[in-house]
Chain A
Amino acid sequence: AQTVTQSQPEMSVQEAETVTLSCTYDTSESDYYLFWYKQPPSRQMILVIRQEAYKQQNATENRFSVNFQKAAKSFSLKISDSQLGDAAMYFCAYRRNRDDKIIFGKGTRLHILP
């Protein structure tokens, strides 16, 4: 069965600094998608970034980038120039290509220190 593990329940970073959130997953599939979702205090789940497993190039969205290590089954999220609005719960998620379901990790709560 596929699993997604986020080993850091909480993290803090100084405003304007860079922070990396860790995620590992377990799968026997070769074709799948990985996602990072953000859930701010408003509760809205917002897609931050998506990575296709067949792509070797790491996905980037403005200040957000990932380090995708397929062999190691690792998918970390780097947030550069952290802003107060980045404070949220971040969920790592996995979906195999032939499935609709997304499997979510338990989340990492990120605090931004002014």
Chain B
Amino acid sequence: DAGVIQSPRHEVTEMGQEVTLRCKPISGHNSLFWYRQTMMRGLELLIYFNNNVPIDDSGMPEDRFSAKMPNASFSTLKIQPSEPRDSAVYFCASSTGLQEQYFGPGTRLTVT
């Protein structure tokens, strides 16, 4: 199995631009999670899906952030417009729902 796949691995963008992060979960996993990691705040859960349905988005910082999961093998996290304080590493993880989560390699986002 290829594991959780995230793209891009690095993203540098200017303030105000739209950013889209992509994730392909492990085949057969029915839960998908988006995390943000910063030095100041540690690892934060932004949103998670179960069977493609958003279950808990209480961690989404504000309306500039949105996430979708159109099918079982693909999810996106979009930031529009991006701000410098959004600079972080964004992780996607998947699980079978009742087991441990498997993480992707992360996307390092830098907003200048």
Contacts and interface: CB of A to CB of B under 8 A. Distances in A.
> Are A and B a genuine interacting pair, yes or no?
yes
Contact of B93 (A42, A45, A97, A107): A45
Interface string A39-66: 0001111110010000000000000000
**Chain B contact residues (Cβ within 8 angstroms of A): what range?**
20 to 34
A35 B43 contact: no
Given A50-B100, A106-B42, A107-B42, A100 B95 contact: yes
B100 A47 contact: yes
B48 A44 contact: no
Contacts of B50: 100
A33 B31 CA distance: 17
B106 A44 contact: yes
A102 interface: yes
Interface in B79-103: 89, 91, 93, 95, 97-98, 100-103
A53 to B, nearest CB: 13
Contacts of A104: 42-43
A89 to B, nearest CB: 10
A82 B56 CA distance: 39
Interface in A74-98: 91, 97
A91 B93 CA distance: 15
B102 A47 contact: yes
In this complex, the member of B91, B95, B100 whose beta carbon has the largest number of chain A beta carbons within 10 angstroms is: B100
B19 interface: no
Contacts of B33: 100-102
Interface of A: 33, 35, 37, 42-47, 50, 91, 97, 100-102, 104, 106-107
Interface of B: 31, 33, 42-43, 45, 48, 50, 55-56, 89, 91, 93, 95, 97-98, 100-103, 105-106, 108
Q: Which 10 A-B pairs have the closest CB atoms?
A: A45-B103, A104-B43, A100-B31, A43-B106, A106-B42, A47-B100, A44-B105, A100-B97, A50-B100, A35-B100
